[in-house]
Structures are given as C-alpha cells and as structure tokens.
Structure 1
Amino acid sequence: METQRHRRRTHLDNSEAPRNRRGRTSVYDIRQMEQAAFNYDSTIDYSIYAYIGQMNIECIHCKAFKFKNETPGMCCAGGKVKLPVLELPPEPLHSLVFGNSPTSKHFLLNIQKYNSCFQMTSFGATNIIKDGFMPTFKIQGQIYHRAGSLLPFPDGDHKFLQIYFIDGENRELNKRYAISTNTRRSIVNELQTFFHQHNELVKLFKVALERMPSDGHKIIIKADKTPIGKHTRRFNAPTIDEVAIVVVGEQF
C-alpha cells in the first residue's frame, strides 16, 4: 500500500521530476516514468524521477511522521481521531518481544512457529482453489475460522482449541511442543501458563466446558413459574414427557 501510494503521488505531483522549459512536467516525461516502473533496470538512478523525500514531517496533533506533500489531516483528521496509548504487554511477552537477550532473539525469529502452538481456530473458506505447486491459493466466497467442538470425538486427537482442555499441564505442554520444530519447551511452557491466566477467550471457553450438560443432566419445567412481563403461552407445560433440542453445527 505504501509503494502504491508513493507511486500515485509521484504521477500526480511530480515535484521532483524533470521539467520542460516552462517548468512543467511533460506528458512524455510522465510516460517515461510509468514505463520505468514496469521495466526495472538496476543501472538507472530512479531517485531523479520518483524522489519523494524523507518521512520527517511531524503531525502537530498526533505526532505521526509523514512525507512532505501529504495532507495535514491525513493521519488523524486534524486531531479528531485520538487513539488510546498502547500499554506494554505483561510478562513474559514483554521480555520476549522487546528484550535483547538470546532468548528474545530466538523467539522473534521463530514467532510464527510459537503462534502455531497456540492457535485456537483453523482457517476455512467457501472455496479454496490451489493451482498446481504454487505456494499461494485463491479464495472464493466467505472466509471464516473453524472453532470446532470444545472436546475431540472419542477416536479423535486434540487439535487447536481442544488442546487448551487437555487434562494435565504436562500433557498439554507435550502436545504444544510437538506442533512446531525449532521451539523451546521453556518458552512454550511460559506462554501456556500466561494464556491460561490472562486470555479472556480461554476463560470463557473453560466456563462453557464446565457448564456442559453431562449424561445425568436434568431439565425441570415448572408450569406455574412464568417470568414477569413475558407471554404466558411461551411457557406452556408440554403435553408429552420429551424435550427436543436443535443444535446447529458439524457432527456436534
């Protein structure tokens, strides 16, 4: 996005581009710059065609740095948009992300692998198109995340969110540590403890798991207990001794 924005500004402004005798950039010069953008040559000094200066202009409102010809209200709408100050992450994230130790350097170099150890959902789409051996793929339709059930099926293995509910911290740690190579068990253990204590989604799912009905779960209907302000027919007592519940999902 940054490159496209720089290129678009160069085409429209051209403040540093070669000019004709009247001091204006000719159509021929603009066409030359456009062609040069699609035919890169390492022997050409492109700074004489598309130099936009340094990002050293500070906004008087939000203190953001911008280029010389960017509009004053582009970053924060002239001070109308005010973002809250980002708080420093708690430990151990702060030391891992902002530290200078060998452990921190290792974590930042392999941060994607550590992220894979703790992902809760799998990627999904309406239609995923793969062309041969290309490393990229195309998506048609809607993008979504598969959360799945909180517990695996009897013959299944724990995956994604289900790993958070493995009985025993060591068993959970062993499962996470085996997901990605070149990770350190000590770091995975620290992050696992951190997520269990501070991640609000993990807390929410744990409460939902504890409230899941067991095989001995009972539903008691009291026909004479109608909530105040509600329509009485919504709470009519059933005429048969069965209760039907519809659950929408995949096999659960």
Structure 2
Amino acid sequence: MHRKGRGDCRVPENNRLNGISKDYLDHGDQSVVCEMCHAKLWNDEATRGKRKETKVTYSLCCHNGAVELPPPVRPNPEYEELFKSNTAKSKFFLKNIRRYNSMFSFTFMGGKVDASINKGKAPCVFRMSGQNYHAIGSLLPKDGAKPKFSQLYIYDTEKEIQNRQTIFRDTDADTSAAEKKLDTEIIIWLKEMLDRQNVLVKTYRMARDVYNQQPTTDLKLRLICSRQQDGRTYNLPTTSEVAALIVGDIEESFEPRDIVVNKVGGKLEYMNELHPSYVPLQYPLLHPNGEDGYRTKIKHRGVEDDDGNKRPYTTMREWFAYMIQERVGEFSKTLYSRRLLQQILVDGYTMIESERLCFIRSKQKELRFVTFENLRSLKE
C-alpha cells in the first residue's frame, strides 16, 4: 500500500551525510497509464506490465485487469473545491480534516492514536498502537451522558453544531476569532451536505423523527450487510439497502454480519470488517453519499460463474490497492485528504491483516491438509 512519490529518496549509503541525503532523487511524473483501469503510475511501479485483451495492464493497480470497480461518485463542485483550491477556507478544512471527519463519523476506532510523535515542524505522521476495530454505540446516550458519534444525528439535534464542536474541540489555543467563525461555517455546511445526500445520515435522521414522535417506542436500527447489486457496477445503495428501522420486537432473521443498534444501552456493537458500511460509517467525508466500501462477493472481471475459478472474488487488499490509485479523468477525495489519507491507510492495513487472520482461523482443516500433502510429496 506504499506509494513512491517524488520526495521518496533512495540513495546509496555513501551519499548520505549525518543522516541527510546530499542529493535529491526525482522519480519524474506518473507517465505510465494502465490501459485497463486508467491508473497513473510511475516508471518504477510499472515494471511488471502484462498484455490482456490487447491492453497493457499492471498488478499494482488492478491485479492485471482482474479487479473491476465502479468509478467514484464525483462530489458536488463546492465540496471538490474544498480539497483542491488554495483559499483560506480550503486550507483550514484540510488542516482540520481528521477532526471534521471525527465530528461526523458514526463509529470510533479502537486503536490508540499516538499524538506525541507529531512535534516540531516535521511532516505529520499517523501512528496507532493496540488492537484496532470499529465500534458503534446505541441510538441514544445513557441518562446524563453526552451524545457521541452516531448519537449526534439523533439526540438533541437543536444543539447539534455546538455538541459536535464541544466534543471534538480544537486543542489549538491560538485559534483566532476569524478561524472560529470559519470553523462554524464549515461544520454547518458539511452537516447540510450530508443531510441532503448521505443515505446513512438520512437513515439516522429517520430514526430521530420516529423517536421525536414516539419517544417511548422500542426502536432499533438494523445495518444490513447483504447487497443484491453487482459490486462491479453499483456503489451507491439506496436507504432501504443500507439500513432498516425496527419498531417493537425483532421478528425476522438476520445475517451474521448484520448490526442491530438498540435504542439505549451501554453495550458497544463491534462491526465486522466485511460489512459494506464499515468504511463509510467511519469516513463520511470520503464517502459523502454513503456509498459502499469493501464487500465480499465482488467478482473479478470476466467472472460470471464460480466453477473452476480458484480466486473469483476481489480481496480486501486488491480493493484498497485499486481505490488509492490516481486515475485519468477521475477525482479522488481520498488522495487529496492529507492527514485523513494517512489514517485510512493505517486503518485499511489493519483491516487487511484482520481479514487474513480470520481466513487462517476459519480454514485450519484445509490449510493443514495442504501442508500435509506438500510434506508427503516432498517425502516421496
């Protein structure tokens, strides 16, 4: 998942002086384009090109044409300008993008972020320790507790802006009055944008409306895991596909990876990394429409039947490798998100490792059989 840029220097040891390179190694421009997925690559990344269906493809971006995903949904022009322009508003937004994302995130990360490493004027580093996971709380906070994360979409929404600023306050004591005003304007604008177009936000707002009309009703929210649409074509689900409101007792059966969020309760629900809403719930600013993240059963290009295919589906590693590429004619919010990009790369790495460990645990019989067969063939 590491991308080499122009500033990534690789120089011989004898060319270094006191740990600082005397020379600057320029990798040049991204002059190579994958003819299958249109990813832009540096020459050093394009050493393993293959020809498939008369097109030159590469393993780094789309696994030599095997991975086929829908293009990202283009944000509205005003939101795109926040990532690309050089205005004071854009600079302030990008400087605080991790904070803004935490304000509107539905879930929280279990790993401990090491903030002590970012001191001085060196480039920002995102470092996390401990076990990482995403957890989601109940629809409403306990009596006397302050709302957090997804609860901010339902509880005390008359003071929603103030609540979000209070919980995720800026620790910089030198913030000027103009920056505080700009901060409030950005938060209000982001809230209104997500209310208009994010299917997950709309679902929680529906839960808020039901709660306001019937405060004593036993209300639950089911976050649905399964998707009926082809993952190679559609990545923008409807509200009914991502979640369902449940009033009263639960009578229908759920899939194992579905998440049922209760109205009130101290128990946190841990989300499975394979849930399609795992990434958009944590990163609403990178998925402003609530579009799906990684999900299982996304078939490789050209695969229509599982029979005879050893690996017919896109893996999580392939999905992340595809999504972090810069492509011709596309705008990637993720690649422009600076410190939030660092966070999602670290988060994605832990997701990939977690999926690998889960695969090893669940496939012990098959793995032992393969190992035994290999040992027997060597003995013979």
- TM score, norm. by length of structure 2: 0.40
Hey, what's the Cα distance between the residues in 1 that align with 2:28 and 2:77?
Answer: 40
The Cα RMSD (Å) is: 4.5
Assess, with a 3 A threshold, how the Cα gap between structure 1 residues 83 and 35 changes in structure 2: closer, same or farther. Answer: farther
What does residue 70 of structure 1 align with?
A: 47
Hey, what's the Cα distance between the residues in 2 that align with 1:54 and 1:81?
Answer: 25
Hey, what's the Cα distance between the residues in 1 that align with 2:217 and 2:32?
Answer: 68
Hey, what's the Cα distance between the residues in 1 that align with 2:217 and 2:72?
Answer: 48
Listed as ranges, the gaps of 5+ residues in structure 1 are 11-31, 221-246
Assess, with a 3 A threshold, how the Cα gap between structure 1 residues 249 and 36 changes in structure 2: closer, same or farther. Answer: farther
Hey, what's the Cα distance between the residues in 2 that align with 1:195 and 1:41?
Answer: 45
**Deviation string for 1:192-241 (max 9, x for gaps)?**
11222222222223344527985477979xxxxxxxxxxxxxxxxxxxxx
How far the C-alpha of 1:77 sits from its partner, in A, is 4.1
The answer to whether the aligner puts 1:190 opposite 2:228 as a matched pair is: no
Query: 1:58 is matched by which residue type in structure 2?
Result: V
What does residue 155 of structure 1 align with?
A: 144
Instruction: Identify which range, 104-113 or 77-86, moves more after superposition.
Output: 77-86
Listed as ranges, the gaps of 5+ residues in structure 2 are 50-57, 119-126, 171-178, 219-246, 250-263, 270-380
- TM score, norm. by length of structure 1: 0.56
User: Given the alignment, which residue of 87, 101, 106 partners 1:101?
Assistant: 87
Hey, what's the Cα distance between the residues in 2 that align with 1:93 and 1:251?
Answer: 32
Assess, with a 3 A threshold, how the Cα gap between structure 1 residues 85 and 251 changes in structure 2: closer, same or farther. Answer: closer
**Deviation string for 1:115-166 (max 9, x for gaps)?**
23222222225xx698xx7775531xx5322311111112111222111123
Query: 1:173 is matched by which residue type in structure 2?
Result: I
How far the C-alpha of 1:249 sits from its partner, in A, is 6.2
Hey, what's the Cα distance between the residues in 2 that align with 1:147 and 1:111?
Answer: 21
Assess, with a 3 A threshold, how the Cα gap between structure 1 residues 66 and 156 changes in structure 2: closer, same or farther. Answer: same
Contact 1:116 1:180 in 2 (8 A): no
Q: Tell me the SS of whatever aligns to 1:146.
A: strand
Number of equivalent positions: 193
Q: Computing the radius of gyration over CA atoms, which structure comes out larger, 1 or 2?
A: 1
Contact 1:92 1:190 in 2 (8 A): no
What does residue 206 of structure 1 align with?
A: 205
User: Given the alignment, which residue of 164, 176, 183 partners 1:176?
Assistant: 164
Hey, what's the Cα distance between the residues in 2 that align with 1:208 and 1:166?
Answer: 10
How far the C-alpha of 1:92 sits from its partner, in A, is 4.3
What does residue 35 of structure 2 align with?
A: 60
**Deviation string for 1:69-114 (max 9, x for gaps)?**
6111323344443443333212642232233433223222222222
Paired-residue identity, %:
29
Query: 2:76 is matched by which residue type in structure 1?
Result: P
Hey, what's the Cα distance between the residues in 1 that align with 2:67 and 2:217?
Answer: 55
Assess, with a 3 A threshold, how the Cα gap between structure 1 residues 160 and 251 changes in structure 2: closer, same or farther. Answer: closer
What does residue 42 of structure 1 align with?
A: 21
Hey, what's the Cα distance between the residues in 2 that align with 1:2 and 1:203?
Answer: 36
